[in-house]
């Protein structure tokens, strides 16, 4: 699955987690509105979702996260492309940041407002100069204040890029710095559960990159020197657990004030094409004050278009895991598509490695009158599932037996601009952090009315989606608690006039009272509206 920049914003997503809600086999978690922590579980495991921004893997440096990345810290507004690689054992999310390629200056302004006192503003400026130099600056400011404990907070994020691109080589420097501030989020019921403490922190991602050649044609090589930093200056919360956890080999407290952690990555990669195939080799070295970890990987793909056979191997010293994968995608006929992948995970006996095991994923689809009807299965051996202590430090990880899920999807055009994007997943043996049934059913409509507006200056897109999930169990150090089932109906309308897009969406239209994390009530009806307006001056 993938989204370009226009598709991302047209989906109505304000966060990366909003976008991932569209993905089968993935269960997303949040304790409230956009300022609250957000994580996702792939096949029930919150530790099997990895995020890469321009080939830099994002590390969970906040000690409260317990080694599980808070996806709310990923700034979706900085992106131009999202690609998901769903292997049998993990989900890899590849993000490419916004770039400009024209010498005409580019400017864009986004304004969003809505319920829960939500206000969001964005501004972009980018230009590529005649000699190949590039300048990009952008920023986002948001704030929300919930009277119903859906989370109160604000954030300021700034982006900058300078660089130069020539016919055969390019180099650039990039930085994204985000300051977040959220208040204590209290539990409604039961009252004896702990609150999520306040957070005042700054996240920074910066890198220098140089590359020679082009990824899509011929040999190429690239080197990236990156640094990530998390700096917390929250007020101390008395009575909050301060037990240490290990994140990437760094012992950090789960809740402290005035904490600064950082890591550096040196990523060296290269590749070449040979006939119908391509080979990519990469070495990732992480450096902290305590240790250095190497993570070599290799990818081989043979084929073209919709018929590709591939293999992937990675030895990750940070996670103490060696991963080998094989995959195949085939479309022997225009109306039949097949895919399969197998993954073997060999874990170190050191703490943090977890059990070794094998996972298999396969799907088959048939095209009926323009619609793709697909069925898939994913199964894995015994594995150690991580917990999400960012919501509650008593949540625990644990080993679970074989887990098998069956997914059915229906996607494509139906009739005259009407389409659907729907799926349902059933887990035969639902375990921790996993519902038995989960589904998303969407009906959408899009039209640019070419006969009435032949210049293409007008288009309309509307959609309605019903999301359902069954009860989810959250094991704690004392017992297991659960979040009940939920049914959420949402709608989205977008109208484009020239280069301005007017957007209006409602989430939870039926005002259904529900929770995703036990004890934290999700917002009632959310009406969000605004405009995105871009200019080529």
pLDDT at 338 over 50: yes
The arithmetic mean of pLDDT across residues 422-430, rounded, is 90
Dig out the tokens for 326 from the structure: 């094989």
SS3 35: coil
- Per-position DSSP letters for 192-260, written without gaps between them: TSPPBPPEEEEEEEEEEEEEEEETTEEEEEEEEEEEEEEEE-PPP-TT----EEEETTEEEESS-SSEE
| CB of 51 closer than 8 Å to CB of 61 | no
Looking only at Cα atoms, what is the longest distance across the chain? Answer: 67
Percent of the chain having pLDDT more than 90? 73
pLDDT per position as a tens digit, 34-81: 999 999 999 888 989 999 999 999 999 998 888 899 999 999 999 999
Average pLDDT over the chain reads: 90
Dig out the tokens for 388 from the structure: 């999400």
CA torsion angle 423 378 297 301 (round to 10): -70
| CB of 43 closer than 8 Å to CB of 386 | no
pLDDT per position as a tens digit, 86-142: 999 899 999 999 999 889 999 999 999 999 999 999 999 999 999 999 999 999 999
Q: Which of 315, 283, 280 is nearest to 301 (CA)?
A: 280
Helices of type H across 288-334: none
| CB of 66 closer than 8 Å to CB of 251 | no
Q: Which of 243, 231, 205 is nearest to 53 (CA)?
A: 205
pLDDT per position as a tens digit, 351-372: 445 667 899 999 999 999 999 9
pLDDT value for 348 = 66
Q: How confident is the model at residue 250 (pLDDT cuts 50, 70, 90)?
A: very low
Q: Which of 55, 134, 143, 129 is nearest to 92 (CA)?
A: 55
* CA 244 to centroid of chain Cα atoms: 26
Q: How confident is the model at residue 385 (pLDDT cuts 50, 70, 90)?
A: confident
pLDDT at 255 over 80: no
CATH code (residue 115)? 2.40.170.20
| CB of 25 closer than 8 Å to CB of 43 | yes
List the domain range (segments joined by +) for residue 62.
Answer: 2-536
Dig out the tokens for 449 from the structure: 């009315």
- Per-position DSSP letters for 343-398, written without gaps between them: EEEEE-SSTT----EEEEEEEEEEEETTEEEEEEEEEE-SEEE---TTT-TTB--E
The arithmetic mean of pLDDT across residues 467-486, rounded, is 90
pLDDT at 349 over 90: no
CA distance 59 to 153: 23
Lowest mean pLDDT among 8-17, 33-42, 93-102, 376-385: 376-385
pLDDT at 13 over 50: yes
pLDDT value for 59 = 93
For 63, which DSSP code? G
Report the predicted TM-score, pTM, of the whole model to 2 decimal places: 0.93
* CA 78 to centroid of chain Cα atoms: 13
CA distance 328 to 360: 12
CA distance 466 to 421: 11
Give the chain's domain count.
1
pLDDT value for 150 = 83
Dig out the tokens for 38 from the structure: 């957000």
pLDDT at 239 over 60: no
Lowest mean pLDDT among 294-308, 338-352, 484-498: 338-352
424 strand-pairing partners: 408, 439
pLDDT at 329 over 90: yes
Dig out the tokens for 304 from the structure: 């073209």
């Amino acid at each position: 699955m993938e989204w370009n920049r226009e598709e991302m914003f047209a989906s109505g997503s304000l966060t990366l987690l909003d976008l991932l809600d569209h993905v089968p086999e993935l269960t997303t978690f949040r304790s409230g509105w956009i300022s609250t922590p957000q994580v996702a579980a792939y096949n029930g495991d919150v530790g099997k979702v990895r995020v890469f921004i321009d080939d830099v893997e994002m590390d969970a440096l906040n000690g409260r996260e317990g080694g599980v990345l808070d996806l709310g810290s990923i700034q979706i507004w900085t992106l131009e492309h999202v690609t998901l690689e769903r292997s049998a054992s993990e989900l890899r999310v590849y993000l490419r940041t916004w770039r400009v390629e024209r010498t005409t200056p580019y400017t864009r302004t986004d304004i969003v407002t809505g319920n829960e006192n939500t206000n969001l503003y964005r501004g972009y400026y980018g230009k590529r100069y005649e000699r190949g130099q590039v300048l990009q600056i952008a920023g986002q400011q948001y704030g929300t204040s919930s009277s119903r404990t859906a989370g109160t907070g604000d954030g300021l994020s700034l982006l900058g890029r300078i660089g130069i691109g020539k016919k055969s080589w390019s180099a650039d420097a990039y930085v994204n710095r985000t300051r977040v501030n959220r208040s204590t989020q209290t539990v409604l019921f039961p009252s004896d559960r702990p609150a999520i403490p306040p957070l005042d922190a700054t996240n920074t991602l910066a890198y220098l990159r140089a590359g020679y050649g082009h990824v899509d044609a011929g040999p190429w090589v690239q080197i990236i020197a990156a640094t990530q930093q998390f700096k917390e200056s929250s007020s101390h919360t008395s009575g909050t657990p301060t037990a240490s956890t290990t994140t990437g080999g760094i012992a950090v407290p789960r809740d402290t004030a005035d904490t600064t952690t950082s890591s550096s990555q040196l990523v060296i990669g290269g590749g070449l094409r040979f006939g119908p195939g391509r080979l990519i080799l990469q070495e990732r070295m992480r450096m902290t004050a305590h240790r250095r970890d190497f993570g070599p990987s290799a990818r081989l793909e043979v084929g073209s278009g919709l018929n590709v056979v591939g293999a992937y191997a990675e030895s990750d010293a940070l996670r103490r895991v060696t991963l080998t994968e094989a995959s195949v995608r085939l479309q022997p006929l225009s109306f039949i598509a097949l895919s399969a992948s197998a993954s073997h995970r060999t874990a170190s006996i050191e703490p943090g490695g977890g059990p070794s095991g094998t996972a298999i994923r396969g799907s088959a689809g048939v095209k009926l009158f323009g619609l793709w009807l697909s069925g898939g299965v994913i199964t894995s051996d015994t594995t150690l599932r991580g917990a999400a202590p960012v919501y509650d430090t008593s949540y625990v990880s644990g080993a679970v037996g074989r887990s098998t899920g069956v997914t059915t999807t229906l996607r494509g055009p139906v009739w005259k601009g009407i389409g659907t994007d729907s799926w349902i997943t059933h887990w035969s043996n639902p375990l921790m952090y996993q519902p038995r049934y989960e589904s998303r059913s969407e009906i959408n409509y899009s039209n640019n009315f070419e006969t009435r507006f032949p210049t293409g200056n007008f288009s309309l897109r509307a959609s309605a989606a019903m999301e359902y999930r069954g009860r989810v169990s959250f094991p704690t150090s004392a017992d297991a608690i659960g979040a009940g089932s939920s049914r959420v109906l949402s709608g989205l309308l977008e109208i484009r006039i020239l280069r301005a897009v007017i957007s209006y969406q409602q989430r939870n239209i039926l005002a259904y009272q529900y929770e995703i994390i036990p004890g934290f009530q999700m917002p009632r009806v959310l009406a969000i509206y605004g405009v995105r307006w871009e200019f080529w001056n």
